[in-house]
Amino acid sequence: MAHQPLQPSRRSLLRGLCALPAASIAGAWPGLARAAAPEYSFKFGNNLPVSHPLNVRANEAAARILAESKGRLELKVFPNNQLGGDTDMLSQVRSGGLEIFNAGTMVIATLAPVSAITALGFAFADYDQVWKAVDGKLGDSIRAAFAKVGLHTFPRMWDNGFRQITTSTKPVGSAADLGGMKIRVPVSPMAVSMFKALSASPASLQFSEVYSALQTKVVDAQENPLAIVQTAKLYEVQKFCSVTNHSWDGYHMVVNGRAWRGLPDDLKLILGRAFDEAGLQQRADLKKLNETLRSDLTAKGMAFNDASPQSFREQLRKAGYYSEWKGKFGDEAWALLEASVGKVS
């Protein structure tokens, strides 16, 4: 997608500069009075609240990109589903209406099915296993699959977290407690498959619809990392939080391929470096936040319980969940996963 020179945007320029230290501005903008409009303007859309660590770091990256490119590249951040839901933004980033999107592992699997392998139920025991897999050969194979559908992907995934189950009706202590439960899941075959295998009644809804669906009792439960429960204020419409760690979720920062190829090499370097370094900072932010979230959410009225993974794994095996997905992903991808986590099934 060709990007034509844009009209000057004084507001966006000043917004980016205000986030920088004075010394940085002086160094990066010696000719501020003569500053021209950016040659390239990229939009980054995401589904997360402004207060989420992803948006905090994304806005810092935007200011850095503006400064390091000396005003040639502007990144505009659109949080909180301002540009539509996940499937809308995924469609836009493919068509070129949106340049960058934080694609969740299960959401983008509609285009590149192998992406969902990192969301496999109870695949990861801890973050050491997660980063070994997604920063290594398994992650490389997933990024190669995105390239085949016209999307450039930055090497470092950003963290969403291990997913937990919240409900308005009762705590979930074992797989049996999920029987017949109406639970919202992402628009994802993997998520639907997992909760059907656990005898729940999953409903695929975009994240933008989650709060109202819980509030109006369209569904009784949902599953998301604790940072989402907090920043999206789901504690206002859910009573119980069961710590299951049933699936890890992260974000691939995907870029429209034509927009990426249209950037000069020096701007590609600036953009890619800013996103990858911000991603590593966001991982650390989320780790620190997770250390306090349980007590914070308890103070807001949520009742927590720890669920043992054993009954869930047994139910998934019994239902043929692991054998089904091993067949779908193929032996090569499955072997790359098990190289990081050990035998899965």
Asked if residues 57 and 278 have their Cβ atoms less than 8 Å apart, the reply is yes
Any domain includes 258: yes
Any domain includes 300: yes
Taking 60 as the threshold, does the pLDDT of residue 89 lie above it? yes
265 to 40, 60, 260: CA distances (angstroms): 13, 22, 10
Q: Specify the CATH number for the domain of residue 30.
A: 3.40.190.170
Cross-strand pairs, 45: 78, 101
Any domain includes 1: no
Q: pLDDT band for position 35 (50/70/90)?
A: low
Q: pLDDT band for position 11 (50/70/90)?
A: very low
Q: How many domains does one find in the chain?
A: 1
- Rounded to 5 degrees, what are φ and ψ at 136? -110, -145
Q: pLDDT band for position 41 (50/70/90)?
A: very high
pLDDT at 107: 87
| Residue written as token pair 């691939």 | 252
What is the residue range of 257's domain? 10-341
Any domain includes 65: yes
Any domain includes 255: yes
**Strand (E) or helix (H) holding 59:** helix 53-68
Query: Cα Rg for the chain, rounded, in angstroms?
Result: 21
33 secondary structure, DSSP code: G
Any domain includes 2: no
pLDDT at 208: 87
Any domain includes 247: yes
Any domain includes 4: no
